[in-house]
């Protein structure tokens, strides 16, 4: 990818997408695949806000059964399968186990019926999934002994058995979002991070472009576009306000996950929890991911500035208590390696007490009715269906542009690095032909993160053999990955590499030696002096000191 805001000033784009989370990224990719000229602008780093706060689950909508919402179930099942096809290296099947108890709110006979309906609604869940390793088995009812065998630490008092079903897990959600951004760039879209929209260009009642502040070069530029697509997520209303749209701001809730030392291995444990906050009672999942366990999601009322999303010790303890209720003595506060905090939209209407639930469906708004032509806003509610919502949003833009014959093809096009038939076979073949100096584990891990694009990372080793070395003992991240992140993936700050381009900081503090090595490489690539290097390191250390892996601005 190439970041060139200077080269955009004399061009009129069909579409300018504001917001580089998963929804904005998919909109840019979908538009570029249709042949539209498109620019994607993100005020911080791609996928660094709401899209980074994820339990890494692409779910098939089992939870919608309680509302008999079969339409949303079908959408989720379809999109989950599409993810498996277009990004096989970054998505895998994950078994979920829910234990049942004699006096619990969910009896085994009830869940048996739910599994039967789920399998019936998702009868075609494996259509098009030719790789056996990508297919979803049917659900099953387990005995008490089978549950204990699979999750030895589960609470056994009153345990009657359990059920198991299968969903998808993202092996690296930040790289998955980045893969969509890279795919947009490869399809012809122009993309730029740290490019904040500060205002809009007007031509009568029509929006004619955006005024962008380039935070990397300290300049402001005007970019012309026929249609503007606002995919600002939590900042949606703020962006709309810049265009002169006065409307009730969307309210958000704080969604919190904790990253802990591993206490589960092969199965994700799901357990019901009650809650008085947004969303009410819900299912809490404890999911093994890489070498850690992710616990969540719990929702809390958001007070004050939504840009400041610190997570209190009380909120962290709530999740710890929920874990230990399901797996007695599993973790303590010292086992929490990090905290993820993001925002999810709330429904516009509340109950008689004024409490509000989570928004249940996406919204796409054409602002023509408000006297503003050429301006569309999209607000999503989950990662799983982002591709489908983006395609529907671009349909609106295409219609405005008078080019309605252009149809979406993102459902059948592999993401960058994802053109892989059978993943396991591909990995074995690549390991077999690897250079003798590289271990199978290095090849396997690079493919898991980059797919077929892993060979681009290996090219740096030909330039400098020392780049295959890990940044420091105890981390598998190689020096070549840092160079690649800067040269080819628009990494501008240390946090971009630590939290989003590599595995370095996604599972907790990697150690000062690894961070110092990363800073040294980036300083050489980007020309940082000692002061800039120290500043970059301090920003990242501040996040680790707070044990908060939330996606805050580092610009």
* Tens digit of each residue's pLDDT (9 = 90 or more) over 48-98: 887 777 788 999 988 888 888 999 999 999 999 999 999 999 999 999 999
Task: Give the span between the Cα atoms of 393 and 230, in whole angstroms.
Answer: 10
Whether 118 has a pLDDT exceeding 70, the answer reads yes
pLDDT tens per residue across span 368-412: 988 899 999 999 988 999 999 999 999 999 999 999 889 999 999
Task: Look at residues 119, 143, 170 and tell me which one is the last residue of a structural domain.
Answer: 170
Q: What pLDDT, on the 0 to 100 scale, is given for residue 11?
A: 92
Predicted confidence band at 541 (pLDDT cuts at 50, 70, 90)?
A: very high
Q: Is the dihedral of CA 315, 317, 323, 326 positive or negative?
A: negative
Q: What pLDDT, on the 0 to 100 scale, is given for residue 546?
A: 67
Mean pLDDT for 441-463 is 94
Beta-bridged to residue 143, according to DSSP, are: 161
Task: Give the span between the Cα atoms of 51 and 298, in whole angstroms.
Answer: 16
Q: What pLDDT, on the 0 to 100 scale, is given for residue 348?
A: 67
Q: In sequence order, what are the residues at sequence separation of 6 or more whose Cβ sits closer than 8 angstroms to the Cβ of residue 147?
A: 97, 99, 154, 159, 161, 162
Q: Nearest CA to 96 among 240, 286, 332?
A: 286
Mean pLDDT for 148-168 is 94
In a shared domain, residues 283 and 221 = no
Q: What pLDDT, on the 0 to 100 scale, is given for residue 252?
A: 83
Q: What pLDDT, on the 0 to 100 scale, is given for residue 427?
A: 96
Task: Look at residues 345, 370, 400 and tell me which one is the last residue of a structural domain.
Answer: 345
What stretch of H or E contains 529? Answer: none
Q: What pLDDT, on the 0 to 100 scale, is given for residue 278?
A: 53
Mean pLDDT for 125-138 is 93
Q: What pLDDT, on the 0 to 100 scale, is given for residue 355?
A: 42
Q: What pLDDT, on the 0 to 100 scale, is given for residue 550?
A: 43
The answer to the question of residue 115 being in a domain is yes
pLDDT tens per residue across span 413-424: 999 999 999 999
Task: Give the span between the Cα atoms of 300 and 316, in whole angstroms.
Answer: 11
In a shared domain, residues 392 and 429 = no
In a shared domain, residues 30 and 129 = no
Number of domains in the chain: 4
The answer to the question of residue 352 being in a domain is no
The answer to the question of residue 244 being in a domain is yes
Residue 417 burial class via C-beta count within 10 angstroms: exposed 0-12, middle 13-18, buried 19 and up: buried
What Rg, from alpha-carbon coordinates, does the chain have? Answer: 23
**Which structural domain, as residue segments, surrounds residue 500?**
423-545
Q: What tokens does 65 get?
A: 């059964």
In a shared domain, residues 532 and 465 = yes
In a shared domain, residues 185 and 164 = no
Residue 89 burial class via C-beta count within 10 angstroms: exposed 0-12, middle 13-18, buried 19 and up: buried
Task: Give the span between the Cα atoms of 37 and 430, in whole angstroms.
Answer: 36
In a shared domain, residues 385 and 526 = no
Range of lowest pLDDT (178-187, 352-361, 457-466, 519-528): 352-361
Beta-bridged to residue 212, according to DSSP, are: 197, 221
Residue in the structure block whose two tokens are 């299968």:
166
Mean pLDDT for 128-155 is 94
Q: Are 114 and 270 a contacting pair, CB within 8 Å?
A: no
Whether 468 has a pLDDT exceeding 70, the answer reads yes
Here the CATH number for the domain that contains residue 538 is 1.10.8.870
The answer to the question of residue 323 being in a domain is yes
Here the CATH number for the domain that contains residue 205 is 3.50.50.60
Mean pLDDT for 265-288 is 77
In a shared domain, residues 399 and 436 = no
Q: What pLDDT, on the 0 to 100 scale, is given for residue 119?
A: 92
Residue in the structure block whose two tokens are 């390191």:
537
Q: Dihedral angle at the C-alpha atoms of 414, 419, 420, 421, nearest 10 degrees? A: 70
Q: What pLDDT, on the 0 to 100 scale, is given for residue 309?
A: 63
Predicted confidence band at 302 (pLDDT cuts at 50, 70, 90)?
A: confident
Cα 245 off chain centre by: 29
Residue 441 phi/psi, 5° resolution?
Answer: -65, -35
The reported pTM is 0.93
Q: Where are the beta strands (DSSP E) in 281-403?
A: 282-289, 292-300, 336-345, 363-366, 375-379
- The number of residues making up the chain comes to 555
With H, G, I as helix, E, B as strand and everything else as coil, classify residue 160.
strand
Task: Give the span between the Cα atoms of 388 and 377, in whole angstroms.
Answer: 15
∠8-13-14 over CA atoms, to 5°? Answer: 165
Q: What pLDDT, on the 0 to 100 scale, is given for residue 368?
A: 92
What stretch of H or E contains 447? Answer: helix 440-450
The answer to the question of residue 551 being in a domain is no
Q: In sequence order, what are the residues at sequence separation of 6 or more whose Cβ sits closer than 8 angstroms to the Cβ of residue 342?
A: 49, 50, 51, 52, 53, 54, 254, 255, 309, 550, 551
In a shared domain, residues 450 and 523 = yes
Q: In sequence order, what are the residues at sequence separation of 6 or more whose Cβ sits closer than 8 angstroms to the Cβ of residue 127?
A: 81
Q: Are 300 and 316 a contacting pair, CB within 8 Å?
A: no
The answer to the question of residue 56 being in a domain is no
Q: Is the dihedral of CA 527, 530, 536, 541 positive or negative?
A: positive
Q: What pLDDT, on the 0 to 100 scale, is given for residue 275?
A: 56
Q: What pLDDT, on the 0 to 100 scale, is given for residue 551?
A: 38
Choice between 209 and 341, residue whose per-residue pLDDT is larger: 209
Task: Look at residues 151, 170, 189 and tell me which one is the last residue of a structural domain.
Answer: 170
Predicted confidence band at 307 (pLDDT cuts at 50, 70, 90)?
A: low
Q: What pLDDT, on the 0 to 100 scale, is given for residue 350?
A: 44
Q: In sequence order, what are the residues at sequence separation of 6 or more whose Cβ sits closer than 8 angstroms to the Cβ of residue 55?
A: 257, 285, 287, 294, 296, 297
- Write a three-state SS string for 178-247: HHHHHHHHHCCCEEECCEEEEEEEEECCEEEEEEEEECCCCEEEEEEEEEEEECCHHHHHHHHHHCCCCC
Crossing angle of helices 108-121 and 70-86, in 10° steps, is 60
In a shared domain, residues 133 and 205 = no
Predicted confidence band at 232 (pLDDT cuts at 50, 70, 90)?
A: very high
Q: What pLDDT, on the 0 to 100 scale, is given for residue 304?
A: 55
In a shared domain, residues 439 and 480 = yes
Q: Are 516 and 279 a contacting pair, CB within 8 Å?
A: no
Predicted confidence band at 308 (pLDDT cuts at 50, 70, 90)?
A: low
Q: Are 316 and 339 a contacting pair, CB within 8 Å?
A: yes
Q: Nearest CA to 283 among 113, 106, 138?
A: 106
Q: What tokens does 375 get?
A: 């301006």
Predicted confidence band at 281 (pLDDT cuts at 50, 70, 90)?
A: low
The DSSP call for residue 359 is: P
The answer to the question of residue 316 being in a domain is yes
User: What mean pLDDT is reported for the chain?
Assistant: 90
Predicted confidence band at 149 (pLDDT cuts at 50, 70, 90)?
A: very high
Predicted confidence band at 554 (pLDDT cuts at 50, 70, 90)?
A: very low
In a shared domain, residues 166 and 201 = no
pLDDT tens per residue across span 3-20: 888 888 889 999 999 999
Q: What pLDDT, on the 0 to 100 scale, is given for residue 358?
A: 78
Neighbours of 312 (CB within 10 A): 12
Q: What pLDDT, on the 0 to 100 scale, is given for residue 104?
A: 65
Q: What tokens does 79 get?
A: 């999109």
The answer to the question of residue 496 being in a domain is yes
pLDDT tens per residue across span 319-330: 999 999 999 999
Here the CATH number for the domain that contains residue 96 is 3.30.9.10
How do beta strands 219-230 and 252-260 pair? Answer: unpaired
What stretch of H or E contains 479? Answer: helix 479-488
In a shared domain, residues 326 and 433 = no
């Amino acid at each position: 990818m190439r970041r060139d805001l200077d080269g955009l000033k004399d061009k009129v784009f069909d579409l300018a997408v504001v917001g580089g989370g998963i929804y904005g990224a998919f909109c840019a990719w979908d538009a570029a695949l249709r042949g539209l000229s498109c620019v994607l602008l993100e005020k911080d780093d791609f996928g660094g806000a709401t899209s980074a706060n994820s339990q890494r689950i692409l779910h098939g909508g089992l939870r919608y059964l309680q509302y008999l919402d079969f339409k949303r179930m079908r959408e989720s099942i379809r999109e989950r399968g599409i993810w498996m096809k277009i990004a096989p290296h970054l998505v895998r099947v994950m078994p979920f186990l829910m234990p049942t108890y004699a006096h619990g709110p969910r009896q085994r006979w009830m869940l048996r019926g739910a599994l039967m309906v789920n399998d019936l609604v998702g009868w075609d869940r494996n259509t098009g999934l030719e790789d056996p390793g990508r297919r979803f088995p049917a659900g099953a009812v387990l005995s008490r002994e089978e549950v204990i065998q699979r999750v030895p630490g589960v609470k056994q008092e009153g345990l009657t058995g359990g059920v198991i079903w299968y969903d998808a897990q993202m092996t690296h959600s930040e790289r998955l979002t980045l893969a969509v951004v890279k795919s947009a760039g490869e399809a012809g879209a122009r993309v730029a991070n740290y490019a904040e929209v500060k205002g809009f260009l007007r031509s009568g009642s029509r929006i004619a472009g955006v005024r962008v502040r380039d935070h990397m070069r300290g300049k402001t530029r005007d970019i012309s576009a026929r249609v503007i697509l606002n995919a600002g997520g939590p900042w949606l209303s703020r962006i709309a306000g810049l265009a002169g749209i006065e409307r009730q701001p969307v309210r958000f809730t704080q969604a919190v996950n904790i990253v802990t030392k591993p206490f589960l291995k092969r199965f994700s444990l799901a357990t019901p929890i009650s809650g008085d906050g947004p969303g009410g009672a819900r299912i809490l999942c404890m999911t093994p991911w890489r070498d850690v366990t992710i616990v969540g999601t719990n929702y809390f009322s958001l007070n004050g500035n939504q840009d400041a999303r610190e997570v209190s010790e009380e909120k962290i303890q709530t999740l710890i208590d929920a874990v230990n209720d399901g797996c007695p003595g599993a973790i303590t506060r010292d086992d929490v390696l990090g905290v993820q905090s993001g925002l999810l939209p709330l429904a516009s209407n509340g109950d008689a007490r004024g409490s509000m639930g989570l928004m249940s469906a996406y919204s796409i708004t054409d602002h023509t009715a408000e006297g503003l032509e050429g301006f569309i806003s999209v607000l999503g509610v989950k990662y799983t269906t982002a591709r489908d919502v983006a395609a529907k949003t671009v349909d609106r833009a295409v219609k405005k542009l008078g080019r309605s014959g252009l149809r979406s093809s993102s459902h059948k096009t592999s993401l960058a690095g994802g053109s892989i038939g059978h993943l396991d076979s591909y990995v074995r073949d690549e390991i077999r032909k690897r250079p003798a100096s590289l271990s199978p584990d290095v090849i396997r891990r690079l493919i898991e993160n980059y797919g077929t694009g892993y060979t681009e990372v290996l090219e740096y080793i030909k330039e400098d053999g020392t780049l295959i070395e890990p940044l420091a003992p105890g981390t598998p991240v190689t020096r070549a990955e840092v160079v690649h992140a800067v040269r080819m993936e628009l990494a501008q700050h240390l946090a971009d590499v630590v939290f989003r381009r590599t595995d370095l900081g996604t599972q907790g503090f990697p150690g000062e030696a690894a961070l110092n090595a990363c800073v040294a490489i980036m300083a050489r690539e980007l020309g940082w002096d000692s002061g800039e290097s120290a500043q970059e390191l301090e920003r990242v250390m501040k996040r680790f000191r707070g044990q908060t892996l939330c996606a805050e601005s580092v610009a």
